A and B are shown apart, each in its own frame.
Chain A
Amino acid sequence: MLETLVTGALLSVIGIYCVIAKKNLVKKMIGLGIFTNFIHLMLISTGFREGGIAPIIIRENVGFFAAYSVDPLPQALVLTSIVIQLSVTALGLSIAILAFRHFNTLDTEKMNKLKG
């Protein structure tokens, strides 16, 4: 549990650094993806359970399933959130393609408003 949280802190810092400091549009999108992955990690770690099993009922564990399984609700939420993240990334990358067509570069230093 603790190592998950430390990894999460590391991921969030890398993500924010990527978004703020990198000058390349695609790298900014990658940073955004890393940051979102940190949040997915946090969300799924709220369902953590010591020695838990996957939330799938099979014939062998019908009766005592709920006593051992991990929390299924955060997994469902993460599933939804991943699709949303995919949509945002797809739209962002297509905007980056259009920006490349206008400016012939992906460098924010050579654009007007995206500086800094």
Chain B
Amino acid sequence: MNKKIIVLCLMLALFFALVIGVFSLPSFSAWESKDVSRYYMDNSLEKTGSSSVVSAIVWDFRGFDTMGEETVLFTATAGILTLMAVGFRRRK
């Protein structure tokens, strides 16, 4: 119980530190300097034909990331197959 109170106090301190840090944070970079996403917005319709810019980025401009993401999903499936499929047979 004592430990819990200590952790709680630490967390409160961390929260206030974060809030103070947030107020002193300068704003993120100006809109004009983001030329990468500017390029995506300007060229999505002409170069990929997709009118949803997010879909165009996910599947075409940065398609390799999404390939990796599907591999992550497959990895989780393979991991769960490793963990679960055996226990089922053993119990039977």
Give the B-binding residues of A (Cβ under 8 A).
1-2, 5-6, 8-10, 12-13, 16-17, 20-21, 46-47, 49, 55-58, 62, 65-66, 69, 71-73, 75-76, 79-80, 83-84, 86-88, 90-91, 94-95, 97-98, 101
Give the A-binding residues of B (Cβ under 8 A).
3-4, 7-8, 11-12, 14-15, 18-19, 22-23, 25, 27-28, 31, 34, 36-38, 40-42, 44-45, 51-54, 57-58, 62, 65-66, 69, 72-73, 75-76, 79-80, 83-84, 87
| Dominant secondary structure at the B interface | helix
Are B41 and A91 neighbours in the complex by a CB distance under 8 Å? no
Contacts A72-B40, A75-B54; A90 near B15 (Cβ below 8 A): no
Are A73 and B57 neighbours in the complex by a CB distance under 8 Å? yes
Extra pairs beyond A65-B41, A72-B53 (19, CB < 8 Å):
A2-B22, A8-B22, A9-B18, A16-B14, A20-B7, A21-B8, A55-B41, A55-B53, A56-B54, A58-B51, A66-B38, A71-B37, A76-B57, A80-B58, A80-B66, A87-B75, A91-B76, A91-B80, A98-B83
Chain B, Cβ-Cβ closest to A56: B52
Contact check: which of A16, A69, A73, A94 meets B84 at CB < 8 Å?
A94
Chain A, Cβ-Cβ closest to B31: A49
